[in-house]
Structure 1
Amino acid sequence: MADLEKETAGDEEVPSAASTLFDLRTVIALLFGVFGLLLVIIAITDTPQAELDKSGGLHMNLWSGIVMLVVAAAFFLWMRLRPNT
């Protein structure tokens, strides 16, 4: 019995596909990615001059979308590089 416990204690536990899919970091990354992509598409296709004038000439949808895509990529990297933390 003690030998069995020693053998399994040294093995690393591999996360299942379901636990990886429903990891909070994955859900957050997907949400940031989808909303960021939508903002980038909206900024490229439909940004009236009135909105640019309100924001001082900045494409706020474009910059917000890019930041959200970077945050999504960071969450995905965090999940892939440190899955058990």
Structure 2
Amino acid sequence: MSDKTTSAGAADGRHTAGAFDIRNFIGALLGLYGLILTLMGLFGEKSLDKTGGINANLYAGIALLVVSAAFVAWARLKPIVVPEHIEPPDDDPTRPAPKRRQGGH
């Protein structure tokens, strides 16, 4: 891996989304559900007669943990680069929001 990849764009002076990347939120949520299902599969009531002899909670939990790790790895390896400067849009007369004042706040 090069310096650019490991520092997530900091070597170029570019800013990344970091913790606010949606892939981190999705990965964390899937990881939480996966952890709960894995623990329920290991320690909870198994009800194997309802699932055809398969511990569905355990397998679904492990699958969610794998997908969660993939989302987090994807966010780390290919971070979203945030542009340095974004120009605000011009006032739209059809927009219901208040108009911007000329020359300041």
Decide: shared fold, TM above 0.5. Answer: yes
Gaps of 5+ in 2: 1-11, 82-105
Larger helix proportion, structure 1 or 2? 1
Instruction: Calculate the aligned-residue CA RMSD, in Å.
Output: 1.4
For the Cα contact (< 8 Å) 2:37–2:61, is it kept in 1?
yes
Letter in 2 for 1:44: L
In the comparison of the two structures, how many residue pairs are matched?
Answer: 70
**Equivalent in the alignment of 1:4:** none
Query: Percent identity between the aligned chains?
Result: 41
The equivalent of 2:15 in structure 1 is 14
1:14, distance to aligned residue in structure 2 (A)? 3.0
Q: Once the two structures are superposed, what CA deviation does each residue of 1:65-84 show, in whole Å capped at 9, x if it has no partner?
A: 00000000000110011012
Shift of 1:21: 1.1
Residue 21 of structure 2 contacts residue 80 of structure 2 at CA under 8 Å; is this kept in 1? no
Conserved in 1, the CA contact under 8 Å of 2:42 and 2:58?
yes
1:68 maps to: 64
Please list every run of 5 or more consecutive structure 1 residues that lacks an aligned counterpart in the other structure: 1-10
The residue aligned with 1:44 is 42
Q: Which residue of 1 aligns with 2:87?
A: none
Q: What residue number does 1:29 align with?
A: 27
The alpha-carbon deviation at position 22 of structure 1 amounts to 1.6
Q: Which runs of 4+ in 1 moved over 6 A?
A: none
1:81 equivalent to 2:77? Answer yes
Amino acid at match of 1:26: N
Distance in 2 separating the partners of 1:55 and 1:38: 19
User: Which TM-score applies when normalising by structure 2?
Assistant: 0.62
TM-score, reference length from structure 1? 0.75
3-state secondary structure, aligned to 2:63: helix
Query: 1: CA distance between counterparts of 2:55 and 2:71?
Result: 25
The residue identity in structure 2 corresponding to 1:32 is L
